[in-house]
Amino acid sequence: MTDRKSPWGHNGEPDRPARDDGNTPPEDSPNGEDTPERASPEAGPQSSGSPSGSEKPGAKPEGPRNPWLPPAGDSRRPPSIEDIFRARSGKGGGSNGGGGGGGNPLLGGRGPNLRLPQRPDGKSWWPLGIAALALLWLCGSSTHRLAPQEQGLVTTFGAYSRTLGPGVSFTAPWPIQQVETRDVTSIQRETIPEGDGERLMLTGDQNLVNVNYLVRWNIKDLKLYAFQLADPDQSVREVAEAAMRAAIAEVGFNDAMGSGRATIEQNVRDRMQRVLDAYRSGVRIQGVEITKIDPPAKVVDAFKEVLAAQQKAQGDVNEAQGWAQKKLAAAQGEAAAFDKVYEQYKLAPEVTKRRMYYETMERVLGQNDKVIVEAPGTVPYLPLPAMRQTPPPSDDARQGGQR
């Protein structure tokens, strides 16, 4: 450390005038070699503080020496920008050992230099690899295999070209042509409303009902389905709701809640198909099914009470109609019997009168306990109940009385 020369002076001491007696000892070169002054004693002494050997011996340097310049007598030069980048890229020799070496360019000159093995003829495998990748890309983007329930929509630079059917088909490679496949035979289901929502609709007699229903549809024309409408699925939902509201408005509350449900479903299906065909949507409606139809949730309790009262009233009406039918049948039976008697009366009036008189008197007097008769030569009182209670005499008693 004491041998190193300070850039600010001689061994860290302030500048002092150089001796011109010619006895100034030469300084060692930093690289251990002899300086030109030591190598050639014939050369004149030079001042160590002079940046070049052109100054006269004994001349005092003007101001401090530039610290970035090598000291006088040093043959080394400062590194340039090229040297710094060459050392960082590993192309030049360095303190890490090793001479020049390129390294892997993908790693910034660091690491081993990776190279593919060469073919037997000495050429590179890169052209063949690129050709194989291009062939795979061509085959993969040009060959299309569609399932039996699928169809493919071919577009050339975004414009419709044709429709592919099931099986294997070929097109131009991407990005010239693109193929979008869709399932056209499976039934799509739209539940309206979704979740626990409520759809209130007005019936023909100004009553509100909550209707939940299911729409089944599939794709009829893939080209129209893909290009005619912006959102075909949403269009199906909106058309279904409009058709259902129109069908509910044509029937009364009782018909919507009861026997008119099948008619409503058929009307909704027909309306939807007509509207979607007018829109050229490419959609076929397979069916509409009403899953639930109830009064609004806020009045469902009152509706249940009204329904119970209507059922009780209908039960009373049915009971009254049964009693009326029973009485009517009895009256019709009596009328038929009277008609038969009248026919006999017309044939023999006197006999029929007497017979009717006897039958009537027997039916009336048969229920009385006593009978008073106003006729000459007869007992006014006949104890009819006592006569009924006295048993008739037996055959043995009759025979004994005769003896």
Q: Final residue of a domain: which of 280, 295, 310?
A: 295
* CATH number for the domain harbouring residue 213: 3.30.479.30
Tell me, what's the pLDDT at 271? 95
45, pLDDT greater than 70: no
What pLDDT digit, counting tens, does each position of 249-280 carry? Answer: 999 988 888 888 899 999 999 999 999 999 99
306 lies in the same domain as 215: no
Q: Which residue has the higher pLDDT, 254 or 66?
A: 254
For residue 205, is it within any domain?
A: yes
198 lies in the same domain as 249: yes
- Categorise residue 63: left if φ over 0, alpha if ψ from -120 to 50, beta otherwise: left
Tell me, what's the pLDDT at 372? 66
199 lies in the same domain as 224: yes
13, pLDDT greater than 60: no
For residue 276, is it within any domain?
A: yes
234 lies in the same domain as 266: yes
Question: Per the structure, how many domains does the chain have?
Answer: 3
Task: Give CA separation, 353 vs 366, 367, 375, in Å.
Answer: 20, 22, 22
Q: Which residue has the higher pLDDT, 276 or 158?
A: 276
Distant-in-sequence, close-in-space partners of 257: CB < 8 Å, separation ≥ 6: 209, 293
222 lies in the same domain as 160: no
For residue 64, is it within any domain?
A: no
Domain range for 232 is 188-295
> How deeply is 34 buried, as exposed, middle or buried, from its count of CB atoms within 10 A (0-12, 13-18, 19+)?
exposed
Partners of 146 in the beta sheet? 167
311 lies in the same domain as 366: yes
User: Of 235-244, 304-313, 342-351, 391-400, where does the model show the most confidence?
Assistant: 235-244
For residue 335, is it within any domain?
A: yes
The stretch 54-79 carries a mean pLDDT of 59
For residue 216, is it within any domain?
A: yes
Q: Final residue of a domain: which of 295, 318, 340?
A: 295
201 lies in the same domain as 158: no
Distance CA 228, CA 239 (A): 16
Please, are residues 151 and 222 in contact by the beta-carbon 8 Å criterion? yes
For residue 175, is it within any domain?
A: yes
366 lies in the same domain as 276: no
Please report, in angstroms and rounded to a whole number, the separation of the first and last CA atoms in the chain.
190
What pLDDT digit, counting tens, does each position of 28-37 carry? Answer: 444 444 444 4
For residue 45, is it within any domain?
A: no
Residues in the chain: 403
176 lies in the same domain as 193: no
Q: Final residue of a domain: which of 183, 213, 248?
A: 183
What pLDDT digit, counting tens, does each position of 325-364 carry? Answer: 999 999 999 999 889 888 888 888 888 888 888 888 888 8
Looking at every residue in the chain, the average pLDDT score rounds to: 74
What pLDDT digit, counting tens, does each position of 187-234 carry? Answer: 999 999 887 778 899 998 888 899 999 999 999 998 899 888 889 999
213 lies in the same domain as 286: yes
Distance CA 388, CA 325 (A): 41
The stretch 108-137 carries a mean pLDDT of 69
Tell me, what's the pLDDT at 304? 83
What pLDDT digit, counting tens, does each position of 178-198 carry? Answer: 888 888 888 999 999 887 778
Q: Which residue has the higher pLDDT, 21 or 155?
A: 155
Residue with tokens 């010619």: 22
114, pLDDT greater than 80: no
For residue 78, is it within any domain?
A: no
Q: How confident is the model at residue 116 (pLDDT cuts 50, 70, 90)?
A: low
